[in-house]
Amino acid sequence: MKMLKWLSCLLFLLCCTQVDAGVAQQRKALFFGHDDRVFIPAPYASPYDAIGLLKTTQDSECTATLISPTQAITAAHCFLMNGRRVDAGRWFLAGYYKGKYTARYRVLGQRFNSRFAKGLKYQGDDVYILPQAAAYDMAIMDLKLVSGRAPQPMPLFNGSRQQLQSLLQINKYRVTQAGFAEDHDQVLSAHQQCVVTQLRRNNTLFHRCDTLAGDSGSPLWLSTTQGPLLIATQSSAPDWFNRKKVDNVAVSVLQKP
């Protein structure tokens, strides 16, 4: 799944040009000067085993996270990459590692805020997300376990904006992000203790976790005394040449459909 790109203060752009893996300078810029990701050893321990690979009907791929025995959370744009017709989810593979998984779920349906779809602009192979829709790039999937061992779902934050702000302050704005990035899409990689730089007025987060295409929909979570707490999902990132202008964007679960 291609990653949403920042074009200007008015538009978010999803660039459909394949990133050249040999352009080390661009990758370095995207990673804020250094790649801080680590590979999570398989089989994944909790909470990493709740994270999995989402496959759509037309074979697009994103990252998603189990949040209940029958639901997972991801990015809404994962289902709208081929025009306004929804590319429905097909499989969610929890604990995915090199073609294997700990649990396979059939996706029964997905739902997201209608304002997101209405705020998309298609131009050639690119998808533009207007600012009024950017805060709604989040989707919930309904699932049915088909095979394997179901992992423990990752707890979802369900408090107020003020409570989320307080938790971020307590944790010194440090979170962990993990997903199936395009350069290592067969294994789970994570940026542990990366920085949230702002909780924005529209309930999205600016953050400096190292993400690439494929990380769309991946979870950002806080480490609390009660355990991990999922607070947001990855949405967008700038082009490498715009890195100094804006941080990555995640949608907080305050926007959960």
Q: In 3D, which of 129, 110, 111, 109 has the Cα closest to residue 119?
A: 129
| Interatomic CA distance for residues 53 and 185, integer angstroms | 9
Angle ∠(146,147,149) on CA atoms, nearest 5: 125
SS3 assignment, position 155: coil
SS3 assignment, position 132: coil
Backbone phi and psi for residue 110, each to the nearest 5 degrees, phi listed first: -140, 150
Residues with catalytic function: 77, 216
Residues 168/181/100/253 CA torsion (nearest 10 deg)? 30
